[in-house]
Structure 1
Amino acid sequence: MKICTSKLSLSALVAATLATGSALAGTVTVVTSFPKELTQAYKTAFEKANPEIKLEILNKSTVQGLAYVRELPLGQRPDIFWASAPDAFEVLSGQKLLENVSAQANKTVPAKVGNYPINDPDGQYLGQALAGYGLMWNTRYMAANKLPAPKQWSDLMKPVYFGHAAMSSPSRSGTTHLTVETMLQGEGWEKGWNQLLQISGNSAAITERSFGVPDGVNNGQFGIGLVIDFFGLAGKYSGFPVEFVYPDVTSVVPANIGLIKGSKNPDEARKFIAYSVSLEGQQLLLDPKISRLPVLPPAQMGGKVPAGYPDPFEIAKRAKVHFDSDLSEARYNVVSSLFDQTITFRHKELKAATQAIHAAAAALAKKPNPRGQALLQQARDLAFTPIVGADMAADKNFLLLFTANKKDAAVNKQVTGLEDRWSTKARENYARAKDFAEQAITAR
């Protein structure tokens, strides 16, 4: 009987221990747009330092991630949102979907990079890495095609680069949205879209995901890619034949991490957030396959920063764009939709118009004539002028329409109607531009 009692006591003890362990342990679910190389490095290191906690990574684009978080009820949401787009965190914060994480901040992180706060002043999210935007290119591809290395966004508007570049869409990639928004803020709405339309018309592809651009440049499918810096730097420091440059019109902003309100394991999630901004967590960013810019200054990185590695604090001093995340947030959906309707879904037509314009410009350079030049200018205006003007893009009621709930039938009908008109107008403009450009060649 005593033996039975002992066995029962032992079983009870084991059960209690297991129950206690289950209570202490937890799975932290992380929604992120970051590549596997980065997330796996953090998962391995964090779980080794905290064996009682497991990380579950849900890889989604920033736009998909925002929708996923919004649609889940309290108590069933993932724990952490981790992405490069500060405007996405403004969206989450504005919709009361984040918890305060100021207690998890690393107190040695500077307050700002350039003029931009690294951590949210209200403590809703923390800067976990820094990022700028620029151009990466494959040196072998460029040599084989006798192409000069680009230095500025505007270089990619030149005829010599036709068919050699690639970019993604802002609706599919938060990092591309930041790149597009940086150009729009740096150049202004009208000039910025003019550049985007010309660069897109010169591009070989608008890829499905942002990863498609650096992968294509690394393997020589594309010559040049418009990317967030860590794509270019990771390719370079991993041994691919690529280089990367920051144009003058760039910005340096934080990639952020935040705790989602109504998540399943907030206490364990806070531990990971604190780890990600600690010295150990920051040093993981310097892995050649990751190659991100830490929020800690180089002097505080324990001598781990490679020679020649970019210093984001110095880049920020030179950057011409002081990124306005409130402006980016306000027109987030308009920019994404306009890009898709006039570029992504009409890329074939835009490319054809751009190619015809290049051909006409070359012909008229050899044999100038006033009528041909007038036709060419009409073609350029049709192809490269944004369908939505600066005044409309600044109209608060217009912007609010695109932030309203699309489940509302009336709202959805109005937005869909506008998008259809943009798409139709773009197709018509590109067809007319191509026609005018072809007429310009034979004009007398």
Structure 2
Amino acid sequence: MRRSLLAAALGAAALLGHIAAQAGTVTVLTSFPKELTSAYQKAFEAANPGVKVEILNKNTTAAVAYVRELPEGQRPDVMWASAPDAFEVLSRNKLLQPAPETLNPAAPKKIGNYPLNDPDGLYYGQALAGYGMMWNTRYLKAHKLPAPKEWSDLTKPEYFGHVAISSPSRSGTTQLTVETILQGEGWDKGWSQILAMMGNAAAVTDRSFAVPDGVNNGQYGVGIVIDFFGLAGKYSGYPVDFVYPTMTAVVPANIALIAGAKNADEAKKFMAFTMSAQGQQLLFDPKISRLPILPYSQLKAPAGYPVPQEVAARAKVQFDAKLSEARYQVVISLFDQMVTFRLKELQAATKAIHEADRALKAKPNAKGAELLAQARSLAYTPLVGEANVRDEEFLELFRKNRRDVAVSKQLTGLEQLWADKARANYERATKLAGEARALAK
């Protein structure tokens, strides 16, 4: 009798243990918008009764810092974001663990020449993304502006005050866009183009979502965005359109199992679901509008929907995630000191440059042209040269922990020098452009 009761008790305990294991909660750390995460949360929970999905939303930079700060056993289960270099940071810090059983064998190995999955097997492409410009068709018509096609279009005088972007220090997708231009054009030329574009900016927003929202409602004319923001607006019925410039890249948005995950088994189920045909089909939802990794032959794509392999074939940039990761902190810090925190001064310099350019075209003057060239050089030359970002010692400084008082003091001092130099350059450029304009009267 006692043996029977003991066996029954052990069986019940085993059953309860199995049920408890099946009924875990998957904590997903992501920068993705609620429209996407809610759709996957609902679909996965319906397909996996008893397993719950908890969404922890943070921008990519904050998400990486969050994982790095937590001890093993207290970390979220899944990291899900667009920026491949963020996953490189986590990988380098041994904060990811392989989960090859989650992969869908029907997915291609590469998108263009770019590997879909991490060669070391620690993170995997779950969707695809390119970078470009969205615009409000009614806004452009009202302001008599042509639709932009290339990044260089946004440096033109007619776009002054009509462009919006988010800060790359607050948005992983913007950091990728900036890095794509830098890789495509080269460090110096790329920064020149970025600064000239930003001189035309109406705003640098805190979050990436604010840019498409502003374009959708007509607050801004043109937004520099990752493709799914533009496509979501278009397919949701807003008066917007989107274009991939030739200087773009198509890279995976990734998903990974975090090392020391609390519920690894359930986490792997979630990851596999996102890469399954059912999970990939969700990407075509108008509110999501992302490019899938699976071939369209296995999915039902909307008519006229962009085909990732075709976009990748046209793209001129073969994105280097390791290069991006190596100079990640330098790029976002430099952008903030030259653009985000000095936008008014950069706008003033750019406005003066545009006005001088118009005056000199109407009435050429050699001295004026020389002054204008000096103004452009001051306003649109990066404060850090390419030689610096090839210097491993310089890059290592930006990888150090800012919580270290000595490191924080050194970085803060350097960034203050950049900020002061940027302000002085923009003020000097404004003055020189004004002098150039005066000579054309």
The verdict on a shared fold, with TM-score over 0.5 as the criterion, is: yes
1:92 to 81, 90, 93: 90
SS in 2 for 1:135: strand
Q: How does 1:28-427 map to 2 (within 5 A)?
A: 28-301=26-299, 304-427=300-423
The question of whether the paired residues in 1 share the 8 Å contact of 2:360 and 2:368 is answered with: yes
Please report how far the alpha carbon of residue 98 of structure 1 lies from its aligned counterpart in structure 2 after TM superposition: 0.3
Task: Evaluate the alpha carbon distance shift between residue 19 and residue 114 of structure 1 in structure 2; reply closer, same or farther with a 3 A threshold.
Answer: closer
Q: Give aligned pairs, total.
A: 433
Please report how far the alpha carbon of residue 407 of structure 1 lies from its aligned counterpart in structure 2 after TM superposition: 2.2
Please report how far the alpha carbon of residue 21 of structure 1 lies from its aligned counterpart in structure 2 after TM superposition: 3.1
Please report how far the alpha carbon of residue 20 of structure 1 lies from its aligned counterpart in structure 2 after TM superposition: 5.1
Whole-Å separation in 1 of the counterparts to 2:95 and 2:259: 5
Whole-Å separation in 1 of the counterparts to 2:240 and 2:279: 27
SS in 1 for 2:36: helix
Q: What letter matches 2:140 in structure 1?
A: M
SS in 1 for 2:242: strand
Whole-Å separation in 2 of the counterparts to 1:283 and 1:139: 29
Please report how far the alpha carbon of residue 300 of structure 1 lies from its aligned counterpart in structure 2 after TM superposition: 2.1
Please report how far the alpha carbon of residue 13 of structure 1 lies from its aligned counterpart in structure 2 after TM superposition: 10
The question of whether the paired residues in 1 share the 8 Å contact of 2:232 and 2:289 is answered with: yes
Please report how far the alpha carbon of residue 22 of structure 1 lies from its aligned counterpart in structure 2 after TM superposition: 2.9
Please report how far the alpha carbon of residue 443 of structure 1 lies from its aligned counterpart in structure 2 after TM superposition: 2.4
Q: What letter matches 2:86 in structure 1?
A: A
Describe the superposition over 1:395-437 as per-residue Cα deviations: whole angstroms up to 9, x where unpaired: 1111111011222222222211110100000000001100111
Q: What letter matches 1:441 in structure 2?
A: R
Report sequence identity in percent.
Answer: 66
The question of whether the paired residues in 2 share the 8 Å contact of 1:34 and 1:59 is answered with: yes
| Structure 2 match to 1:6 | none
Describe the superposition over 1:165-216 as per-residue Cα deviations: whole angstroms up to 9, x where unpaired: 1001111000001000000000000010001101011010001100011000
Task: Evaluate the alpha carbon distance shift between residue 298 and residue 16 of structure 1 in structure 2; reply closer, same or farther with a 3 A threshold.
Answer: closer
Whole-Å separation in 2 of the counterparts to 1:16 and 1:382: 72
| Structure 1 match to 2:435 | 439
The question of whether the paired residues in 2 share the 8 Å contact of 1:101 and 1:126 is answered with: no
Q: What letter matches 2:381 in structure 1?
A: T
Whole-Å separation in 1 of the counterparts to 2:255 and 2:98: 11
Whole-Å separation in 1 of the counterparts to 2:52 and 2:437: 65
SS in 2 for 1:76: coil
Whole-Å separation in 2 of the counterparts to 1:74 and 1:129: 28
Describe the superposition over 1:77-112 as per-residue Cα deviations: whole angstroms up to 9, x where unpaired: 000000000111111111100010112110110000
SS in 2 for 1:82: strand
Output the aligned Cα RMSD.
1.6
Describe the superposition over 1:3-27 as per-residue Cα deviations: whole angstroms up to 9, x where unpaired: xxxxxxx999999976653343111
Whole-Å separation in 1 of the counterparts to 2:18 and 2:395: 51
Please report how far the alpha carbon of residue 254 of structure 1 lies from its aligned counterpart in structure 2 after TM superposition: 0.1
Q: What letter matches 1:321 in structure 2?
A: V
Whole-Å separation in 1 of the counterparts to 2:116 and 2:186: 25
Whole-Å separation in 1 of the counterparts to 2:184 and 2:13: 62
The question of whether the paired residues in 2 share the 8 Å contact of 1:102 and 1:125 is answered with: no
SS in 2 for 1:110: coil
Whole-Å separation in 2 of the counterparts to 1:433 and 1:111: 49
Whole-Å separation in 1 of the counterparts to 2:103 and 2:417: 47
The question of whether the paired residues in 2 share the 8 Å contact of 1:137 and 1:224 is answered with: yes
Please report how far the alpha carbon of residue 228 of structure 1 lies from its aligned counterpart in structure 2 after TM superposition: 0.3
| Structure 2 match to 1:7 | none
Describe the superposition over 1:344-403 as per-residue Cα deviations: whole angstroms up to 9, x where unpaired: 000011001100110111111111111111111111110000010111121111111101
SS in 2 for 1:390: coil
Whole-Å separation in 2 of the counterparts to 1:392 and 1:74: 36
Q: What letter matches 1:95 in structure 2?
A: N
Is 1:430 the counterpart of 2:441? The answer is: no
Whole-Å separation in 2 of the counterparts to 1:174 and 1:343: 17
Whole-Å separation in 2 of the counterparts to 1:51 and 1:416: 50
SS in 1 for 2:204: strand
Q: Give TM-score scaled by structure 1 length.
A: 0.95
Q: What letter matches 2:70 in structure 1?
A: L
Structure 1 residue runs of 5 or longer lacking an equivalent are 1-9
The question of whether the paired residues in 1 share the 8 Å contact of 2:22 and 2:266 is answered with: no
- Range with greater deviation from structure 2 (407-416 or 325-334): 407-416
Structure 2 residue runs of 5 or longer lacking an equivalent are 1-7
Whole-Å separation in 1 of the counterparts to 2:41 and 2:401: 35
Q: Give TM-score scaled by structure 2 length.
A: 0.96
Whole-Å separation in 1 of the counterparts to 2:293 and 2:283: 10
SS in 2 for 1:119: coil
Whole-Å separation in 1 of the counterparts to 2:156 and 2:21: 61
SS in 2 for 1:345: helix
Q: What letter matches 1:386 in structure 2?
A: P
